Structure 1
Amino acid sequence: MADHMTAHLAGETASQAQKIATLAVCFTIVTLDGLDTTSIAFVAPVLSRAWNITPAAFTPAFVATSVGAVIGYMLSGPVAARWGKRQAAIWSVLVFGLGTLATVLATDIVSISIIRLITAIGLGGCLPIAVAAGADIMPSRYKETAAMLVATGLSAGSVIGGLIALPLIRDHGWTSIFIVGGIAPLLILPLFVWILPKETEVAKGGNPVLALFSDGLATSTILLWAFAFLVFIDAYALMFWIPTLLVDFGFEPSQAPLATAAFGTGGLVGNIILMLLVARFGIKPLLIAICLFAIACIVALSKAATASMLLPLIAGLGAGFICCCVGQAALAVSLYPPALRTTGVGWASASGRVGSIFGPALGGLMVSLGWAPRDIILTAIAPAVLAIVVLLVMRGIGRRTA
């Protein structure tokens, strides 16, 4: 109760300068998180030539990054509950900053996979702490908006990485992206610790993960995890496989990066629109509308007859599914009290990250079985429909308990 009141008072009484500073630092740390998470993808083509291996050989490094992030998401809440958010933040940033720097020492797939696994644990640990801190500093009406703003940093980081990776690697070699990505969070760390509130009590004796299933939260927790899993399946399956599938639509292989750029750009634009509307309409109705919009884009893309329609529709898919991936953090913020927000955001994100592993693998299976690209794209409707059902049930539960 004391923790809840402290967070409530912080949100209602914090000065405008405190709110801006907190959101700016949290957004920046998550942006660097997103940059470091995707950095391995930027250097894979260069290292595959340098190490004389195929790009597919980097699969263990990609999987290790996702597995490490899941572990970090799951540990963030319990560590913060046991030792405090400041200690959890310090260790998370140190692990991902120093781990990113250590990546320059990798000499083969085994070493880079191990380093990325460890680094990603720190990466996963930062996001829930930053999202919870950003939400706690804001008044109740704007907590979901703040959560979305901070979580959008992941998308911003991947976009920034795409912009700076080419000149950095071209002019300074592949290690430069990891040097920049490792030093930057270490420089921001003092500010991150500064904006986190001092905690007089940290060890409460209870298990914060089990608390997600107490006090009537069990059903909503399971539904939140299901929603995150489903939307991440679609988002990552489409993100990974649309560039390849578009060849069947008349695209040249060299144009594949345009599809990836359209998907990411659509996501950023969609996030901005959602942030502007969420305080007025609430997160659940908006996510339902976004899922319906994404389904419409899937159907239109599967029937697209001209190449000129493809990129706008792909941007629409990004707006739909990337918004849902960011929106699940806002759902967690709206569902849990302050004491459970870090754990709630972390475990929901972990469920989503599992979906991000499952989705591309399922897409790869359909490709290997020789499914038609348009049919593969249509299969993305099923998780989206299930996600809408989950949201409707969550909305019904919210009305009954209001």
Structure 2
Amino acid sequence: MSTQTVDVQAFIDKNPLSGSQRYLFVLCFLTMLIDGFDTAVIGYAAPSLMREWSLDKLSLGPLLSAAMFGVAAGSLLSGPIADRIGRKTVLLVAVFGMGALTLITAWTTNIAEMTALRCLTGLALGTAMPNAVTLTNEYCPGPRRALLTNAMFCGFSVGAGIGGLVAAWMLPIWGWRSLFVLGGALPLVLTVMMLRIPESVRFLVSRAGDGDNATAHERIAVVLRKIAALPDGALRFALHEGPKTNVDGIAPKRGLALVFSKAYWGGSLLLWITYFMGLVIFYAIVNWMPLLFKDAGLTPTQAVVVAALFPLGGLGAVVSGWLMDRFNHDRIVAVGFLCTAVFVFAIGRTHGQLAALVVCVMLAGLMANTSQASLPGLAACYYPTLGRATGVAWMMGIGRFGGIAGSFLVAELARRQFTFEEMFMVLAVPGAVAAASLLVKSLIFAGTGVSRRELRDDPAASMH
């Protein structure tokens, strides 16, 4: 019987989603949901913390942004590590750390302790997110890759939105500490459930290489048999991603070397700018909206409930993913960011009009979260396996400084006594910048890390 070499991506593409893949997708979705809850919970607890610890709004700036420093560091460090040792191990450590540190936060007694713990929690949050994206993406069939990746990632927005609804119910009964107990217990349970998920098969193939590593290829075969039966004689496995994983005719580049290579650095820079600007909007609004609405005349409960409508808009990422699988990725997401700018601007025009405010918050949340939740899937499709975890993680890590900037931006606008209308006018600008960045990327680069001129000259370069 002759030995047959199986292209793992073609194998995944031609078979229906297996129970193993569905289990992995569900757990990665739950990871993102809990990540979103644990990220946004500090904003929902903020009014209670202000009363209990006698804080003012300006002193909340460092606390609200502390997790973002950790998230940025976690993303920047974890991507290259995951491209070397694998996605699953890094993800398991991150989810466990997210749970343990959030649980400990429930027993803090002052703002200094909480700020330090939120920064450490951010390391775990920032590590979990890009690795969940990468692991999901690498088990997706090509024709549905953006759809499934976006659907998984919208769990973050759902979790952040559910956090507001849960907070409105739990805060009056058990207080702010109960939110952190819940946010810590859930990841610990999830860690146990994740022990059964497989390592990325694309990563395993990239590590096995083209040699005769029988042990490595047998491990790949075990994983693939959980998806579907292998053809007779399938003893070797390969991954065809086009020539750009081997740049300039030398050994294939991996991790940061690939992200900063000639083929990818330009698109990477534009993705960083876009993600940065999107998070300026998201964290400025999620962290400060309950307080801004309260100051604008809403009751504390109304302020929390209306603010919770904003992150729920991430469910639109499913539709965005469907469109991205059929049309130009960059332009679809760019339109979403342009609409975000319009609706964020409109929020500032609804002062004193509760019904109009609810509509504008829902529409702004729909477009902002749909666009932001589409970026990890866009980046995962842009990079090949040898640098995918690093590419996604660095976009998210560098972009996280936008979350830090967003939290401090609103604090500075408040210090300068900007009106409600003027604040949302300023917050609309990053949406326009994000849209412009993706339009530039669509004009200069194809969606696979090569310029449009190179793609015309070498159609095989698009085979990611």
| Bucket of the pairwise TM-score, normalised by the shorter protein | 0.7 to 0.9
Match of 1:163 in 2: 165
Which one of the candidate residues 405, 417, 437 is aligned to 1:358? Answer: 405
Matched, 1:288 2:290: no
The one-letter amino acid paired with 2:453 is R
Pair 335,302 (structure 1): closer, same or farther in 2 beyond 3 Å: same
Question: 5 Å matches for 1:3-82?
Answer: 6=8, 9-10=11-12, 12-13=14-15, 15-54=17-56, 56-82=58-84
The one-letter amino acid paired with 1:45 is P
Among the aligned pairs, what percent are the same residue?
26
Which one of the candidate residues 118, 134, 141 is aligned to 1:139? Answer: 141
1:121 CA displacement? 0.6
Tell me, yes or no, if the aligned pair for 2:64 and 2:287 is still in contact at 8 Å: no
Tell me, yes or no, if the aligned pair for 2:75 and 2:126 is still in contact at 8 Å: yes
1:358 CA displacement? 1.0
Match of 1:123 in 2: 125
Distance 1:302 1:61 in 2: 25
Tell me, yes or no, if the aligned pair for 2:276 and 2:400 is still in contact at 8 Å: yes
Identify unmatched segments of 5+ residues in structure 1: none
The one-letter amino acid paired with 2:68 is S
Q: Identify which range, 277-286 or 49-58, moves more after superposition.
A: 49-58
Match of 1:195 in 2: 197
Match of 1:319 in 2: 366
The one-letter amino acid paired with 1:163 is L
Distance 1:21 1:318 in 2: 29
Tell me, yes or no, if the aligned pair for 1:64 and 1:116 is still in contact at 8 Å: yes
The one-letter amino acid paired with 1:385 is A
Match of 2:3 in 1: none
Match of 1:309 in 2: 356
Match of 1:179 in 2: 181
The one-letter amino acid paired with 2:256 is V
Corresponding residue pairs, total: 397
1:37 CA displacement? 1.9
1:115 CA displacement? 1.8
1:240 CA displacement? 4.3
Distance 1:363 1:388 in 2: 22
Tell me, yes or no, if the aligned pair for 1:232 and 1:353 is still in contact at 8 Å: yes
Which one of the candidate residues 281, 287, 294 is aligned to 1:234? Answer: 281
The one-letter amino acid paired with 1:395 is S
Match of 1:328 in 2: 375
Pair 162,195 (structure 1): closer, same or farther in 2 beyond 3 Å: same
Tell me, yes or no, if the aligned pair for 2:88 and 2:135 is still in contact at 8 Å: no
Match of 1:257 in 2: 304
Distance 1:245 1:111 in 2: 26
Distance 2:153 2:289 in 1: 24
Pair 118,20 (structure 1): closer, same or farther in 2 beyond 3 Å: same
Matched, 1:370 2:417: yes
Match of 1:273 in 2: 319
Give the root-mean-square deviation of aligned CA atoms: 3.0
Pair 257,334 (structure 1): closer, same or farther in 2 beyond 3 Å: same
Tell me, yes or no, if the aligned pair for 2:276 and 2:399 is still in contact at 8 Å: yes
Tell me, yes or no, if the aligned pair for 2:73 and 2:123 is still in contact at 8 Å: yes
Identify unmatched segments of 5+ residues in structure 2: 1-5, 210-251, 447-451, 456-464
TM-score by length of 2: 0.76
Distance 1:170 1:303 in 2: 31
Which one of the candidate residues 248, 269, 276 is aligned to 1:222? Answer: 269
Tell me, yes or no, if the aligned pair for 2:21 and 2:139 is still in contact at 8 Å: yes
Pair 11,100 (structure 1): closer, same or farther in 2 beyond 3 Å: farther
Tell me, yes or no, if the aligned pair for 2:83 and 2:388 is still in contact at 8 Å: no
Match of 1:343 in 2: 390
Match of 1:395 in 2: 442
The structure having more radius of gyration, on CA atoms, is: 2
